[in-house]
A = this chain, B = another copy of it.
Amino acid sequence: MSQEEKLKWYGWGLVNKTFDLSRRHNFWPFLREKLELTSNETSLPIDISEIKLPASESSLASKFESLLGANAVSCDTLARLTHSMGKSYLDLIRIRKGQIKSPPDFVLYPETEDQVLKILQLANDLKIAVVPFGGGTSVVGGLEALKDSGHKAVLSLDLGSLNKVVSIDETSLLATIEAGMMGPALEKSLQAQGYTLGHYPQSFEFSSLGGWIAARSAGQQSNKYGRVEDMVSSLTIVNPLELITTLDAPASAAGPSIKQLLIGSEGIFGVITKAKMRVHKLPSIKNYRGILFKDFFSGAQAIRTIIQLGLEPATIRLSDELETGAFMKMRPESESMLENALSRSVKWYLKNRGYNESPCLMILGFEASDNNIKKDVGVALEICKNFDGLDLGLRVGQHWYKDRFALPYLRDTLLDNMIMIDTLETATTWSNFANLYKAVQNALISSIKSRNCSPMVFCHISHSYHDGASLYFTLLAKQIKGFEIEQWYEVKRAASDAIIKNGGTISHHHGVGRDHAPWAQLEHGKLAIAALNKVKQVFDPQGILNPGKLIT
């Protein structure tokens, strides 16, 4: 079965997998109450046979067959459909209805770096727009197969066959890895040799190394292993003119960082084909636990204290009151440690200790290769205690760890039930943290309410730094039938405006793509964006690379 057949074209992940709600009896009543859902109406994806894509420029496609062989060129409907966009809410509500305005004319599957270069040179000659495609999980419109009026066609360049760990330099702890390699295969290959990259974004199972680098991804364990831009020792990027490999020096003062100009460039300067990544010895010990705080800000203070002391938990995340409540409602009954912990007698105990009905849950995880971990865990727990953090022990942490990639599947179920569900993320300094949190929360709530919908907006700290933290928001509301897209745009605009107005970054780890581009311009200023445009002109003089993204 091809990768396209294995995955849902209309949603997240594997065709046969859904988020299991069978033992989560509290979930729907909770959601129905909060979102004031009154009907049981559903809206399922259109049948694929009903989807009619615009005709493909198949004569142009055939010109690539001599470069790659006929098997590596596809004008097939499923191939075009699955490469037409990413996995954002906006993408899914359109694709579920079969609204595919701009599918790629064809999809190419190169197997070597040299083929990528030849593809780009031919596409450049033929004026065909090229959208690099890794795992296809962009949630910011980074993969929409757009073309400009000057382009004869648009092709999707699927890097899935560039999927090997090329070599491991065990002295320097560097692994050279092809860009199309997906998370699980990458970790499996490294771990078989005793190493890990330690990069686990929520999309891990279906996203690729190249995509992570292109979008400046951060993973759930990046507190310890670093964001992807910290992990890259060097990278190779192919543009229509040449193949650029940055130097693999561990540090350099040779002028502005070319590497940091290419990381996060989202395909507009070139196609990332491989990278030399900093890897680590596989940790033998993992210690993930749950800790309960009386409120969000005291938990945040505990995080700040832990990080500013120089401790390096792999994961330290803190849900606000509403998210903790939703998390509790979503635990399967039989396993619900947290629910148990809050069962009547425990609730009484907590109440006596000053915890109200809406505590906040922190997941605190340490990873190490030796027993150094014990002391760090002890210090961190002591700090949490100083902020009234109650250690719930390992099982809550282990449950989170086990389920940490499952949530995106739930989105499909919510869409079936006509619920708007989206996430967005930002970051700011600790001193601006409360201000930004409230501003974005208020913007989301007001915007949803302005359409007379009842909002659920919750948030967690997903990543923490010496000087600040990221805020990861989830928003839910019932869909306004027939106006799903407008409804989403209003909410997105309100949140993005609030982020920029209140000193946050438009993205902490999702990237810019098409959806964040107007606010990225506000964040960086016109001169910086003009500079990026000039850089693009150098690397991509004909403007064929991922048009309409990042700096439009």
Residue positions of A touching B, CB distance < 8 A: 169, 171-174, 215-218, 227, 229, 233, 239, 241-242, 244, 246-258, 260-266, 269, 278, 281, 304, 308, 310, 312, 375, 426-432, 463, 465-470, 503-512, 516, 520, 523-525, 527-528, 530-532, 534-535, 537-539, 550-551
Contact = CB atoms under 8 A, between A and B. Distances in A.
Given A256-B261, A257-B263, A468-B249, A531 B524 contact: no
A511 B251 CA distance: 12
Contacts of A254: 216, 264, 505-507, 511-512, 516, 520, 523-524
A258 B429 contact: no
Most buried by B among A174, A255, A427, A504: A255
A468 B247 CA distance: 12
A510 B251 CA distance: 12
A528 B244 contact: yes
A426 B255 CA distance: 13
Given A507-B252, A516-B254, A467 B264 contact: no
Given A467-B278, A468-B172, A252 B531 contact: no
Contact of A535 (B229, B244, B512, B534): B534
Please classify the interface of chain A as helix (H, G, I), strand (E, B), loop, or mixed, using the class held by over half of its residues.
loop
A256 B260 contact: yes
16 contacts: A215-B253, A218-B253, A233-B429, A242-B525, A247-B505, A249-B426, A249-B468, A251-B427, A251-B505, A254-B264, A255-B512, A255-B520, A257-B260, A260-B260, A261-B531, A531-B534
A519 to B, nearest CB: 8
Given A216-B252, A244-B527, A260-B261, 15 more contacts: A173-B466, A217-B253, A242-B525, A248-B428, A249-B428, A251-B427, A251-B465, A255-B520, A255-B524, A257-B257, A261-B261, A261-B531, A531-B538, A534-B535, A534-B537
